[in-house]
Structure 1
Amino acid sequence: MSLSQSSPRGEPSVTELIARRALTAVFQPIVDFDGGTILGYEGLIRGPAGSSLESPGALFDRAARQGQSVALEHAAARICATAFAQLGCEGKLFLNFSADALVALQATHERMIDWLQQCGVAAERLVVELTEQSTIADVRSFAPAVASLREAGIQFALDDYGTANASMNLWVRLQPDVVKIDRFFIDDIANDPLKFEAVRAMQHFAEASGARLVAEGIENAADLIVVRDMGIALGQGFLLGRPDPSASRKLAEPARKALGADHIAVFPGATRTSIAASPSGSMAAAKMIVPAPALPTSATNNDVLDLFNRLPTLHALAVVEQDEPIALINRRSFMDRYALPYHRELFGKRPCMLFANASPVVIEKSMTVEQMAKLLASDDQRYLADGFVITDEGRYVGLGTGESLVRAVTEVRIEAARYANPLTFLPGNIPISSHISRLVGHRVRFHACYVDLNHFKPFNDRYGYWQGDEVLKFAAAVLADVCDPTRDFLGHVGGDDFLILFQSEDWHARVLRAVDAFNTGSLHFYADEDREAGGIHGEDRRGNPTFFGFVTMAIGCVRVEPARGEDARYGSEEIASVAALAKHRAKQDAAGVFVIALDEGAALMHAREGHV
């Protein structure tokens, strides 16, 4: 049977499509974020327009079934190179190859250089991407194929890094010139702390290995700005430009606007340093797995006893049915019952479910410490003694102990507290200073707004610190609500003091909204009689009886203009000090808001210091 006969509905085979020149090339730009210039294009192949083979997925699936994958890859490379030269494109041409296609190319790489020259594309302009579908059984034997490319002046890239077969092993052993980060890690990176940390780890390794990173799959402005501000130099995605037969020479306007944005990104997780976003707060359950055998429901109590005797350190046993946990048997509870007179004789051959907890605590190994911490606050405390069952997508993988859970939550909370306020989990002084330095270093305009609560101490004295904590958490929620998480940074200095670093253009309206929302909402924390009286009776700092009004919010704002040239006179400490001065003025203002320029505030501070 011929290849054409093997195609459904009489459609042409891949070999025939290549021979008939029915395949076309499209080009997607790869953009250098510095100036928004197009570094080069990735050449992609398409089947006949309007046919079932137009999409590359369908085309390569057909080639795989017909044993023509390598032939299609080589043909696609020639078609893309020819079209690239005919279009007069500048910059690099990125072409995709599987490991098999590269090995086959090695034997004929001189022929490849010949057709590149015939197409008018110099070898130095070519970047060969190893696709993620490539399975390399022996990297050592594959390395010569990469070496032959480099000898010809061709650069080598690792595609879709972080998924499938694109692994750290390949990065270390093949030392690519370019690494393209898979779109999974880039999509929604502006809002996902774990993706951000994963990409930052790739960035550190790229710096050590000398590879250039390309962020793939950029489809919105927020993700582009985060990637740009991380220091990744190159990007690719629909926002920057879609695959196009004519190879667009201009950067798409939304991308140009995003790259030219004068604000810097607030990195995900920075505005709310929860234990879930802390370095050790993810995949915590997986770290606590105690490998332990499980018993089927058909097991007897004698089987349980035998297993506990053979494994004296085992604190519990899981009972499973088709790999799914349905019960848990605690060692101490089981042994205490079994030690009673005649229990072994009476119950030894009975089903093990007789003494089992049929509703054990079951958690997924992907559960974070923050999610697991909720167990500590729940009414069900059985897991402290019994432990708990850990599963992977519902399938039993091991056990965990209450002791390990308490230890993990405590350790991560201590770690988070190093940089975050333990009450609100907002960033503390160190991250605040760091972000001010970033803003100053990037020479962007921003407003540093120092927030304080009037009459908070008398409220705390009257109602107690538990209720006072609720007011502080309410203030944090109000402030977070008025911030744009991609532009504005919210930190908790301590006590009832907060600091917002606004880059939003409508920052003043946001400040007024926060003051109004807090002043209205804070009334709910008072008893009815105090609300009717308009406040509470207490003592001032000197112990004198005083009547205090309601807790209200005051915000002092400092306008910080970008430094000119090499002039960066003010650092994070000076800016925070001027913001504190503005806060004191705001507390005396009827509206609760005071705005001052940084230069003016610094001059007032120096004059006051000189007077003192």
Structure 2
Amino acid sequence: MINDELESILSEQRLTPLFMPIVNTQERSILGYEALIRGPSDSPLHSPATLFKTAQNCGRLLELELLCRELSMRRFEHLRLEGKLFLNVTPATLLEPDFRSGMTLELMERIGFDANRVVIEITEQLPIDDYDLMKEATSHYRELGFEVALDDLGAGYSGLRSWSELCPHYVKIDRHFIEGLDSALIKQEFVRSILEVARSISCQVIAEGIERIEEHRALNDLGVKFQQGYYFSRPSAQPPRELERQLFRYSNGNAASPALSTQQNLASITHRRNPIASDHPLNKAVELFRQQPDVHSLAVVDAGRPVGLLSRETCLGLYLMPFGRELHERKPVSSYMDKNPLCLEERSGLEAVSDRITRSSTKTPHSDFVITSHNQYLGIGSIIDLLKLVAEHQVRNARHANPLTLLPGSVPANEEISRRLQQKQPFAASYIDLDNFKAFNDSYGYEKGDQLIIFLAECIKKSTDDSVDLVSHIGGDDFLILFGSADWQQRCEQIQQEFQNGIGRYYNDADRKKGGIKSTDRTGRERFFPLATLSIGIALPDLQLCDSYHDVARLASDAKGLAKQQQGHSLFINRRKG
């Protein structure tokens, strides 16, 4: 009966491909999707483990896998998903009598699927301990031009031996080592070791099985860039094309506020020195140091990716030893380099940079670090220059912060507007004004007035994403938000709702029951003022028409003025672009 069910599934193609995103947490983007197959929901072969085991017992494993690949690629193309497609492949299919080389490529040509987008994930649908078969499968797909990933590192056949000898493009850490990572020091040390080996063989590490924000945060702290798990998204027939930015609140990529972006600053301290390859002899490195007396270290780079850092002190120390030159000069640089140097992406936020320095083993001010762009070698930076940069930003931000809310003031806001205009980065400028604040201040006093402003600042911060939105307190009861978030209107409405929910507690019982207070207006006449509300004006500046922050400020101010003409909470969007 089970054989008939398998026959029915294969002949009628009753399989459903689901897709699960693999996330680049530093760039806050999706690297690609892993295709996962499910049998019919009402079938005893719904589970992939049962499905593949049955297919192997019936001698139809290859037929099943080819069908899975075809359906996954066709669905991937139909959905027009971007990024790479990770296809699970069982090594045992190479033993099937009908197997012949090139079947997957032929399938792709028939479908019209770009082979460069496919990563063959050597997976363990079925237990196997045959290392030679594992090696044959990896070599087979590499020779066909595919990128290869090894699944479940630390479980089954995917041990350290297969990883280090087969040198795949990607390796996935088994979920056992991710579960509870935040509180398990042994697991953290395991992940650190994996990262060190991966860096030495130019392999990318993917952590899978992330279900909790604490695990995600722990992986970020360890420097694991690629992550996958229910925390981001469950497998779905309609997977997300982008992820909610709130998921990346603890990611290291650009964790600091946009005003603290180091994209241009790290470039300013980057020394674009020529690197050296890991297989070059030590005497070549020594000669480079002699030609450049001010250089403290050389980046060791293979195929564009940094794999180590070689210091001048190391080379000199070796050459000063008795017979040091004769013993070491012809040995490869890889034997002497630091295989775990501090590496920073040029777009890393200063907050993340400062944290990485604190946790790094690089302690001396003359130590250098490697600067990369999308994991490709860019140049060398020095710790002392970086520490100066961090200190300068901290002093500058403190100097321009509003003393009441400690939020950035008008100077950082204007600079951020200028930066976004220059880089043609779309944004929404939201001007927030507190209605009836003067009457409240006159009736309740300045201390209560300050408490109300602080409450408004908390409502704004709670409703914004500090990884892409800049909140600034530009004076008095006026706030300016530069939204990078696409859902800026919903966030503004959320700010008004948060404020509405909490404003009552700043009034006494009598005023709260009346819905406001009696006070004098600016002309000296006494009148009734309702409970405080928010007027929000929003500008959507045209990046071609607006030349400076003055243009954007004018658009936002005009919108706020029109919003204040309405009673109660109001939101006005200025349709004029420049």
TM-score (norm: length of structure 1): 0.41
